[in-house]
Structure 1
Amino acid sequence: MKTDKPRVAIQGIRASFHEEAAFRYFGENIETIECNSFKQTFEALKNKEADYVVMAIENSIAGSILPNYSLMMGYSYPVVGEVYVPIQLHLMALPGVRFDDVKYVTSHPIAIRQCIDFFDEYPHLKIVESNDTAACAKRIRDEQLTDTVAIANTLAAQLYGLDVLERRIESNKLNFTRFLILTTHENNKKKGPANKASLCFQVNNEVGALAKVLNVFCHENVNMSKIQSMPVLGKRNEYNFYVDIEWEEAKQFDNSIRQILKYTHNFNILGEYQQYIEDDSPKPQTKPDNTKRYITVKKIE
């Protein structure tokens, strides 16, 4: 039964960074749809099991998540927003567990790499990789593991009843992940006037072809905040260029699009949306409730 709450598909489980991103964008009054993979989040949207998808697209340390660009093109759902989440990683264990008794550390491989400086000081610990930070915290709770610690966020510690043994163990304290918000065309309701867009296009394999497009942005005073290239599958020397642009007046965007159409082919506007602006006001640290707001999507073969 559909409720008035937005149904938001995420990769991972409760208290993952994807859910934290969903809370930051929509608020906590949502219904989270847990999915095992990014592809499943899009399938949930396609099958009307979700109203939105929240998907990580880049990390300030690990870089772009390239397969997710292909998913965006393959499903053609519009991007309607973005949100940035600071990645703060904590070491957590069952209540009463002492760090001296720990033998194993478990988390997502990217999270582990982001904390490598911390674990260099404890070479006796065995690293166990998993597919989700929050799932590692849940496993410790479910299996009552007294010799294992997880690397995850504050939400995971709160939800699964773990004690934080050490806070902020990530090597780079300025680490963040950018998430995109996608939905169906029927549900594409903008929050306000767009001032940012994500584009995808190809140019001819000749001298200056890409420069012509970039010069258009420069001439129209449109800021290009990101550019990412990916080979076109099965075609030699052909690339898709994924570009994010920002503008102050709508006519700057409109003029740019009209002009670059002359220099590109297979041109797509992946979405027009409002640029994310960090709200510096303090956010309440509330413990997630235990009401049944979560649905798990069955594995799609």
Structure 2
Amino acid sequence: MGNKKLRVACYGARGAYTYEAMEKQFGNREKEVIFCPLFEDVVKAVREGQADYGVVPMENSSTGGITEVYDLIQHYDCAIVGEQMVKIEHVLLGVPGATLDDIDTVYSHPQGFAQCREFFMEKRNWKQQPYFSTAQSAEKVAREGKKNQAAVASRTAGRLYGLQVLKDAIAFNSSNYTRFFIIGPAMEIADDADKITLVLSVRHESGALYHVLGYFFYGGMNMTHLESRPIKGKPFEYFFHIDVMGKLRNPANAQTLRGIESMSTYFKILGNYPSYTHKEES
């Protein structure tokens, strides 16, 4: 990725989990961070040349895939060049001096609420207000300074915006992780790239998907993720977004993918990049 100053579009704000993923990916590289309130803003910034790279969440271990991200990467013709994994540790944040008894309104991203649903089952009288991101929710609560307002976000966000922790560890899954995509305007295939993300569609007939996926099995390629998305204008027909372990430069893997492409009505490789597991083990 060279030594020039990077421009990185990052979903959310300072203190967001996406920001942590960006720091893990780019380390101490000199960079200008462009914060974006919407997933689409991140992808557009990369596509239109306003950013060299973008960082977006795409899957949570508790609540599953963030399907909008798949659609945006495909729609704007961006490429996946890396992935990161961040442990999600939600806390309830309020202004200094507030207590749980003061709270009646809570802000967070919808995913934040979903990942803490058991906690909020016990707080049915609280109003849950969806907001752009967890970090932006913390910033809003801090900016407005109202004792009745709280945010679901990280401890880091609380520290950055001067909030106090009202309740610790409110996510229902203590092993809660989010996977993030690092996207660019074009594919970058590093020597240690070992994961491929692709999107395909198949004929709308019995057994079509089964036969296509069989290529992965017989080709010895381990499929790690499968997500379906409806095709606009074609009711009950779908794009399938697939993650599989493999290397485009490996002749056997390339042959398997050519076989899959021949069986598909639409086929596109979105990226071949180093997996998070690979980086952690190296």
In structure 2, the CA distance between the partners of 1:96 and 1:231, relative to structure 1 (3 Å rule), is: closer
TM-score normalized by the length of structure 1: 0.83
Q: Which amino acid aligns with 1:173?
A: S
| SS of match in other structure, 2:84 | strand
Structure 1 residue 124, shift from structure 2 partner: 4.2
Matches of residues 236-275 of structure 1 in structure 2 within 5 Å? 236-247=235-246, 250-275=250-275
1:81 corresponds in structure 2 to: 82
In structure 2, the CA distance between the partners of 1:256 and 1:41, relative to structure 1 (3 Å rule), is: same
Q: Which runs of 5+ in 1 are unaligned?
A: 282-301
Question: Contact 1:220 / 1:252 at 8 angstroms: preserved in 2?
Answer: yes
Count of residue pairs brought into register by the alignment = 277
Structure 1 residue 143, shift from structure 2 partner: 2.0
Structure 2 Cα separation of the partners of residues 44 and 86 of structure 1: 26
Structure 1 Cα separation of the partners of residues 225 and 127 of structure 2: 38
1:225 corresponds in structure 2 to: 224
Matches of residues 49-68 of structure 1 in structure 2 within 5 Å? 49-68=50-69
Structure 2 Cα separation of the partners of residues 230 and 40 of structure 1: 21
Structure 1 Cα separation of the partners of residues 105 and 235 of structure 2: 45
Q: Which amino acid aligns with 1:64?
A: G
2:180 corresponds in structure 1 to: 179
- Cα offsets for 1:252-272 (capped at 9, x unmatched): 321211222221132111111
Structure 1 residue 140, shift from structure 2 partner: 2.1
1:299 corresponds in structure 2 to: none
Question: Contact 1:12 / 1:132 at 8 angstroms: preserved in 2?
Answer: yes
| SS of match in other structure, 2:14 | coil
In structure 2, the CA distance between the partners of 1:212 and 1:128, relative to structure 1 (3 Å rule), is: closer
1:168 corresponds in structure 2 to: 169
1:215 corresponds in structure 2 to: 214
In structure 2, the CA distance between the partners of 1:118 and 1:208, relative to structure 1 (3 Å rule), is: closer
In structure 2, the CA distance between the partners of 1:120 and 1:234, relative to structure 1 (3 Å rule), is: closer
Structure 2 Cα separation of the partners of residues 45 and 144 of structure 1: 35
1:45 corresponds in structure 2 to: 46
Structure 1 Cα separation of the partners of residues 147 and 160 of structure 2: 18
Question: Contact 2:47 / 2:78 at 8 angstroms: preserved in 1?
Answer: no
- Cα offsets for 1:84-131 (capped at 9, x unmatched): 222110112222333333333222232123223223334443333322
Structure 1 Cα separation of the partners of residues 136 and 96 of structure 2: 18
| SS of match in other structure, 1:34 | strand
Structure 2 Cα separation of the partners of residues 72 and 270 of structure 1: 8
Structure 1 Cα separation of the partners of residues 28 and 94 of structure 2: 26
1:201 aligns with 2:200: yes
Q: Which runs of 5+ in 2 are unaligned?
A: none
In structure 2, the CA distance between the partners of 1:260 and 1:116, relative to structure 1 (3 Å rule), is: closer
Structure 2 Cα separation of the partners of residues 12 and 76 of structure 1: 22
| SS of match in other structure, 2:258 | helix
- Cα offsets for 1:20-74 (capped at 9, x unmatched): 2211222254322111211111221233221101111122222222222221111
Question: Contact 1:195 / 1:250 at 8 angstroms: preserved in 2?
Answer: no
The structure carrying a bigger helix percent of its residues is 2
- Cα offsets for 1:132-191 (capped at 9, x unmatched): 211121122222222222110122112111122222111111222211111122xx5444
